[in-house]
Amino acid sequence: MGRRILIAEDEPNIVTSLEFLMRKCEYEVCVARDGEEALEQIEAFRPHLVLLDVMLPRKSVFEVCRRVREDPRCEAIRIVMLSARGRDKEIAKGLALGADAYVTKPFSTRDLVAKVRELLPESV
């Protein structure tokens, strides 16, 4: 059965590229344009992994992470943070919020795909 991935990102062109990459890997993809929508989609779409932009409008990434981590049903969800800010401090902050990986923009598509694959092994 296919793995589901939620792309939470507000920059349309980045969404396009991510969507393309994830589909290529035969993941089921859903897109959220802001924090609120991301939370709704997590509830409805039940993704296995979320590609989460740090600077989402309408709900802070902190709020999204907290909600995900508090919900026992979402225990298994992996979170990969995407951010244009690459300082160590910000990476540490993201990981502390509960991210499984932190990817700095601009990213290498190959590395990103590798990371997603690593987090979503075929056999569960």
Partner 1 sequence: MLQGWVIAVTSFAYLGLLFAIAYYADKRADAGRSVIASPYIYSLSLAVYATAWTFYGSVGRAASDGVGFLPIYIGPTLMIALWWVVMRKILRISKENRITSLADFIAARYGKSALIGGAVTVIAVIGILPYISLQLKAVSNGFLILTQYPEIVMPAKFGAVPLMQDTALWVALILALFTIAFGTRHLDAAEHHEGMVAAIAFESLVKLLAFLAVGVYVTFVVYDGFGDVFERAAASPALAPILTPLEGVAGSYSSWVWLTILSMLAIMFLPRQFQVAVIENKDERHLSKAIWLFPLYMLAINAFVLPIAIGGRLQFPLGIVDADTYVLTIPMAGREELLALLVFIGGLSAATGMVIVETIALSTMVCNDLVMPVLLRMKSLRLTERPDLTGLLLGIRRGAIVLLLLLGYLYFRLAGEAYALVSIGLISFAAVAQFAPAALGGIFWKGGTRRGALAGLVAGFLVWSYALLLPALARSGWLPIGLLERGPWDIELLKPLALFGLQGLDQITHAMIWSMVANVGAYVAVSLAGSPSAEETRQASLFVDVFRRSGDAGGARFWRGKASAPDLRNLLVRFVGAEAADGAFAAYARARGLAWPREPLPADAGLVHHVETQLAGTIGAASARIMVAAVVKEEALSLEEVRTILGEASQVVMYSLQLEQKSRELEAATAGLRAANERLKDLDRLKDDFLSTVTHELRTPLTSIRAFTEILNQEPDIGVAQRQRFLGIVTKETERLTRLINQVLDLAKIESGRADWHESRVDMREVVADAASAMGQVFQERGIRVELKLPERVRAVSADLDRMTQVMQNLLSNAVKFCSPGDGHVEIELCEQAGWLRVDVRDNGPGVAPRDREVIFDKFHQVGDTLTEKPQGTGLGLPISRHIVEHHGGRIWVQAGAPGAHGSAGACFSFTLPLLRDAALEEAA
Binder to partner 1 among 11, 28, 63, 100 (CB under 8 A)?
Answer: 11
Q: What is the dihedral of CA 55, 57, 62, 63, to 10 degrees?
A: -170
Q: How many residues bind partner 1 (CB under 8 A)?
A: 23
Residue 76: CB minimum distance to partner 1, A: 27
Give the neighbor-by-neighbor strand order of the sheet with 28-32: 28-32, 4-8, 49-53, 78-83, 101-104
Enumerate residues 93-122 that contact partner 1 by CB under 8 A: 105-110
**Cβ atoms of residues 113 and 80 within 8 Å:** no
Regarding 63 and contact with partner 1 (CB under 8 A), the answer is no
Binder to partner 1 among 21, 31, 52, 79 (CB under 8 A)?
Answer: 21
Residue 28: CB minimum distance to partner 1, A: 19
Regarding 16 and contact with partner 1 (CB under 8 A), the answer is yes
Distances (CA, A) of 88 to 49, 77, 82, 92, 104: 23, 24, 14, 6, 11
Regarding 8 and contact with partner 1 (CB under 8 A), the answer is no
Which of 71, 6, 64, 69 shows the shortest CA–CA distance to 35? 64
Q: Which residues bind partner 1 (CB under 8 A)?
A: 10-11, 13-14, 16-18, 20-21, 24, 33-34, 55, 57-58, 84-85, 105-110
